[in-house]
């Protein structure tokens, strides 16, 4: 395994974590807005804002929500105070009153697998029409409740909600390019997924210093719902996004995990796989949605392959133990380096762009691109690579609008230079472009 180098000063990614991890970064809040302002000191983000009106495909933007106070008291003494963002359930209702111990326990949530942890209760963010009040507590606190009556006070402030989605675009020589996506929500936690945001910002900041062939973008969203609104509203306005990668949970001292796209064949994930092997680090790999389940389902539904890079699983997931004590600047920097190496290699790949639809008569003298398959009856079957080139000829009309030459050659088990030489003939006829 390659030895890690300890950075001499705080990296951009580590600075971001130190500054923002404690904030109550729920979908719509002052802390979320403040986080975007801070991140914009590193990259000039464009902020897309969507206001809450009617449900959109069933998705409801929750209200802007701030916690003023959250306490549980017994005989006038505070026994539990919401001094951490996870201690109150997501967008809890306000409540004030005396309740029995049985009633109180109906509003307390704990993780039975980790009795000393405070869990992350997020479901109400996605069901703003059906909300309750409540606390998240360690199971040890729950089990110790033995009085008959308790006083509860939860004070919140609410106003019209909106989603703010941050997008940074690093232009290349080509409009076509790739997207990296991360979550900025998940309040009071460092690894999930503020570390993905931090790695993405440092990666694009580093990439912005050089010229690139392709266009690269970083999109910071609220989990699932942010990607829905971004892709539905911005995709037609953006330059073509060929492929994408979700980056998250990259600061813990756990092995890297590469989750493949639905097809498992995107050029980005192939280059990422190569960079991971070259890094010499221990890497876990898994099929689509076999390791983590996030926005990849949304991006794939728009025909954009999405792989993901993370350090999942890790023991502190979705709890108050996900804090700076488990973050490693070395591991963050390793993730940035691997992703940067991936993009440098990716930027050298040749992209095919089809300029036609349908099937042409390639034997016609105006094209002269036909590769004769031969006839068994006349003993004229081709030998060597000629037979496989026939497969390439047949494959080209079936390709999507964009395809990488390297991926085509790999799928057909042909040398890339042989494929490229034949494709240049198609380019000369104006049927494709090679970029």
Q: pLDDT for 292-340, tens place per residue?
A: 999 999 999 999 999 999 999 999 999 999 999 999 999 999 999 999 9
For 401-412, write each residue's pLDDT tens digit: 999 999 999 999
What is the signed CA dihedral for 160, 163, 164, 166, rounded to 10 degrees?
180
Mean pLDDT of the region 420-430: 96
Give me the domains of the chain, ranges plus CATH numbers: 12-60+162-346 (3.40.630.10), 64-159 (3.50.30.90), 351-434 (no CATH)
For 261-280, write each residue's pLDDT tens digit: 999 999 999 999 999 999 99
| pLDDT recorded at residue 359 | 95
The distance of Cα 177 from the centroid of its chain, to the nearest Å, equals 16
For 218-261, write each residue's pLDDT tens digit: 999 999 999 999 999 998 887 899 999 999 999 999 999 999 99
User: Among candidates 62, 80, 68, 78, which has minimal Cα distance to 24?
Assistant: 68
12-20 vs 30-39: helix axis angle to the nearest 10? Answer: 160
pLDDT band at 380 (very low <50, low <70, confident <90, very high): low
């Amino acid at each position: 395994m390659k030895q890690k180098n300890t950075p001499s000063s705080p990296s951009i990614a580590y600075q971001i974590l130190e500054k923002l991890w404690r904030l109550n970064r729920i979908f719509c809040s002052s802390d979320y807005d403040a986080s975007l302002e801070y991140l914009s000191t590193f990259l000039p983000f464009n902020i897309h804002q969507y206001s809450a009106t009617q449900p959109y495909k069933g998705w409801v933007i929750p209200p802007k929500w701030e916690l003023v106070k959250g306490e549980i008291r017994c005989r006038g003494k505070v026994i539990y105070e919401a001094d951490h963002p996870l201690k109150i359930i997501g967008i809890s209702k306000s409540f004030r009153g005396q309740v029995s111990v049985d009633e109180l326990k109906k509003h307390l949530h704990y993780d039975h697998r980790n009795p000393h942890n405070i869990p992350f209760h997020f479901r109400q963010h996605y069901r703003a029409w059906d909300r309750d009040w409540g606390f998240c507590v360690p199971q040890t606190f729950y089990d110790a409740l033995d009085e008959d009556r308790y006083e509860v006070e939860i004070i919140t402030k609410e106003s019209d909600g909106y989603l703010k989605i941050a997008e940074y675009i690093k232009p290349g020589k080509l409009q076509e390019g790739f997207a990296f996506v991360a979550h900025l929500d998940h309040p009071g936690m460092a690894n999930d997924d503020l570390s993905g945001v931090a790695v993405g910002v440092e990666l694009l900041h580093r990439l912005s210093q050089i010229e690139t062939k392709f266009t690269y973008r970083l999109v910071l969203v609220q989990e699932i719902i942010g990607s829905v609104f971004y892709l539905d509203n911005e995709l037609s306005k953006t330059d073509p996004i060929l492929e994408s990668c979700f980056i998250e949970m990259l600061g813990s001292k756990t092995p890297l995990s590469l989750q493949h796209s639905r097809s498992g064949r995107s050029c980005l994930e192939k280059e990422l796989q190569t960079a991971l092997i070259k890094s010499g680090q221990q890497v876990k790999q898994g099929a689509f949605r076999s390791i983590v389940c996030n926005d990849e389902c949304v991006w794939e539904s728009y025909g954009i392959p999405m792989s993901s890079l993370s350090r999942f699983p890790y023991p502190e997931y979705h709890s108050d133990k996900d804090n700076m004590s488990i973050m490693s600047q070395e591991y963050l920097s390793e993730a940035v380096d691997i992703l940067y190496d991936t993009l440098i290699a990716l930027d050298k790949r040749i992209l095919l762009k089809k300029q036609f639809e349908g099937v042409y008569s390639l034997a016609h003298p105006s094209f002269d691109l036909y590769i004769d398959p031969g006839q068994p009856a006349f003993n004229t079957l081709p030998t060597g690579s000629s037979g496989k080139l026939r497969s390439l000829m047949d494959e080209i009309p079936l390709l999507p609008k964009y395809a990488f030459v390297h991926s085509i050659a790999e799928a057909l088990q042909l040398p890339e230079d042989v494929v490229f030489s034949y494709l240049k003939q198609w380019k000369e006829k104006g049927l494709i472009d090679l970029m």
